[in-house]
Amino acid sequence: MKVTKKRIVITGATSGIGYEMVKLLHSENEVIVIARNAMKLNKLELELPGVVTYQADLSQATEVEVAANKILERFKSLDILINNVAVQYTPTFLDDDFQYLNIADEVALNFTNICHMTYWLLPALMKNEKSYERTIILNINSGLGFVPKTSSAVYCATKAALDIFSQSLSYQLEQTNVRVQQAFLELVDTPMTAGRGTNKMSPKLAAQKIIYGIENDISINNIGKVKLLRVLLRLVPSIAKRIMKKY
């Protein structure tokens, strides 16, 4: 499926991978962005004319519902929903700077929000006005969703939950026009990963590979080093887990 003349919703797209996807897609598609920072959304509208934006804190269920309903009021159908927004807190439960309240925020933004957003926008994806043409829900995931590291335990857990949710949802939608895809990323050079790791993939390359997966109907898109991690986990799981434990 060529990603042109599509109506695409992307969450958390004012920086990093989401921002690069918007830049790649906006000229030939109708792109709708939902994010928390109103100033960044205004800047995005000025930089990329035609991009439609909605401000919402996606860790709050009520704000997800309000934003989704605004989209549904304006657009009767959608072609692609990209659940991209995420947050990662790195302190362990034993660290002095661990923040208890971050647990709920991380779970809500990385997982619960995706369930909510999918629920509210699913009717518009199923009511595609182009003769029941295939539409897509794409959930941006991580290699940490199937092999966790020592830090960021809650983040790893939310990504594992997202994987299972995506699989189950795909079963539910088998008899519809909606397809569920996942993109599993290696470490990408974004604001979320600032100060961590080396040899990180650029957000532009990650965005290109994600879009390639959409166009080529790749339901499980293992990007970059995630391919090797999958192989290690299958052949020598102890080594894969040992590597990621130190990650």
pLDDT digits (tens, 9 = 90+) for 68-108: 999 999 998 999 999 999 999 999 999 999 999 999 999 99
Range of the domain at 69: 7-245
- Residue 2 vs residue 136, higher pLDDT: 136
Q: What is the pLDDT of residue 189?
A: 83
Give the mean pLDDT of the chain. Answer: 94
Q: Please report whether residue 204 resides in a domain.
A: yes
Q: Please report whether residue 157 resides in a domain.
A: yes
What DSSP letter does each residue of 154-184 carry, written as one string?
HHHHHHHHHHHHHHHHHHHTTTSSEEEEEEE
* Mean pLDDT along residues 196-209: 88
Amino acid (1-letter code) at residue 83: N
Q: Please report whether residue 185 resides in a domain.
A: yes
Q: Please report whether residue 1 resides in a domain.
A: no
CA distance linking residue 216 with residue 5, whole number of Å: 16
Is the pTM above the cut of 0.75? Answer: yes
CA distance linking residue 122 with residue 136, whole number of Å: 10
Q: Please report whether residue 145 resides in a domain.
A: yes
Helix or strand (DSSP H, E) at 35: strand 30-35
Half-sphere exposure of 82 (CA within 13 A, CB side): 29
Length of the chain in terms of residues written: 247
Q: What is the pLDDT of residue 129?
A: 58
Write out the two tokens for 13.
């797209």
What's the CATH code of the domain at 207?
Answer: 3.40.50.720
Q: Please report whether residue 29 resides in a domain.
A: yes
Q: Which of 230, 134, 237, 223 is nearest to 177 (CA)?
A: 134
Q: Please report whether residue 151 resides in a domain.
A: yes
Q: Which residues are catalytic?
A: 155
Half-sphere exposure of 105 (CA within 13 A, CB side): 8
Q: Please report whether residue 2 resides in a domain.
A: no
CA distance linking residue 38 with residue 40, whole number of Å: 5
Quote the number of domains for the chain: 1
